[in-house]
Structure 1
Amino acid sequence: MRRSEFLRAVEVEFGARAATLVNDLVLGAVGSRTAAEALEAGVPPRDIWLALCAETDVPVERRHGVGRLEPRRR
Structure 2
Amino acid sequence: MRLTEFAELTDLEFGRRRADAMLNDHVLVELGGRTGAQAIEDGVDPREVWRALCREFDVPPERW
Shorter-chain TM-score: what band?
A: over 0.9
* Larger fraction in helix: 2
Question: What residue ranges of structure 2 are gaps of 5+ in the alignment?
Answer: none
- In 2, distance between residues paired with 1:45 and 1:2? 7
Alpha-carbon RMSD across the aligned residues, in angstroms, is: 0.8
- Identity of counterpart residues, as a percentage? 52
Deviation at 1:50, TM superposition (A): 0.2
Higher relative contact order (CA 8 A, sep 6+): 1
Deviation at 1:4, TM superposition (A): 1.1
Question: What residue ranges of structure 1 are gaps of 5+ in the alignment?
Answer: 64-74
Q: Look up the equivalent residue of 1:39 and give its one-letter code.
A: I
Q: Higher Cα Rg: structure 1 or 2?
A: 1
TM-score normalized with structure 1 length: 0.81
